Amino acid sequence: MSENRRAAVLGSPIAHSLSPVLHRAAYRELGLTGWTYDRFEVDETGLPDFFKHLGEDAGPAWAGLSLTMPLKRAVIPLLDEISDTAASVEAVNTVVFGDDGRRRGDNTDIPGMLAALRERGVGRVERAAVLGAGATASSALAALSRICDGEVTAYVRSEARAAEMRQWGERLGVVVRTADWGDAAEALGAPLVIATTPAGTTDALAAAAPDRPGALFDVLYEPWPTPLAAAWAARGGSVVGGLDLLVHQAVLQVEQMTGRAPAPLAAMREALAAR
């Protein structure tokens, strides 16, 4: 395909983003020599203006955008339609521009989580625990709605956060029980633990890793491994990390933006390791 197209990742801060590494590697492997992928520092106040000026210059047509925080909800009013997956958590991380000019939003974080878990042999679980209650935690609940047969316990720091997680559970069809963060060590006995908290938050839990751990999905990738992930792996537990999520959600973005499937997972992962 020789047609020139462009794509980018938007967010604030954005300098740390590894999305360009992944998407550019995919373009090379797919032979999309005229495609470019950049990063732009854009916050919520600047997002409408960025969209307003898309396509005003004489450059190649836009294929799509990747969105990171804090734009995943702010972008929704600027779109023509969003997928059911994105609507389920009110968060869009992928925008694809159609030939008809329509802007369609999707969320590849949720299927990306499921793909990362499957790759490590994690299928259906009888129950699960979620550490944290932010935007990533709601995506985790959406993923768990498809693979967890029983209760999900969310460990949070405030009653307001607890109420939010229970509401997400009702919306997503997941039975959510909430518990105080002070009891978070109890979460580690679940067959699947998903840690969605910022760097350093779970470090104190490393010493509480069980002797026979189940699966841990720690969405962080910098620094890596986290103390909890390192302790988990040392005890023989299955560990899924933030880089696993990053590459799998990017695979789905590449497929949507380019119309080419399957995306070159191996090449994208190699580029990530070589960065």
Residue 239, classed as helix, strand or coil, is strand
Which residues, other chains included, contact 58 with Cβ-Cβ below 8 Å and sequence gap of 6+?
Answer: none
β-pairing, 94-97 vs 61-67, is antiparallel
Q: Which of 124, 135, 128 is nearest to 154 (CA)?
A: 128
Which residues, other chains included, contact 218 with Cβ-Cβ below 8 Å and sequence gap of 6+?
Answer: 195, 202, 225, 226, 228, 229, 239, 240, 241, 242
Token pair recorded at residue 210: 């069980």
By the 8 A CB rule, do 2 and 33 touch? yes
Residue 94, classed as helix, strand or coil, is strand
Please classify residue 230 by burial: count the beta carbons closer than 10 Å to its beta carbon, then call 0-12 exposed, 13-18 middle and 19+ buried. middle
Catalytic residue ranges: 72
Which residues, other chains included, contact 92 with Cβ-Cβ below 8 Å and sequence gap of 6+?
Answer: 67, 72, 73, 75, 76, 79, 82, 86, 105, 106, 107
Residue 127, classed as helix, strand or coil, is coil
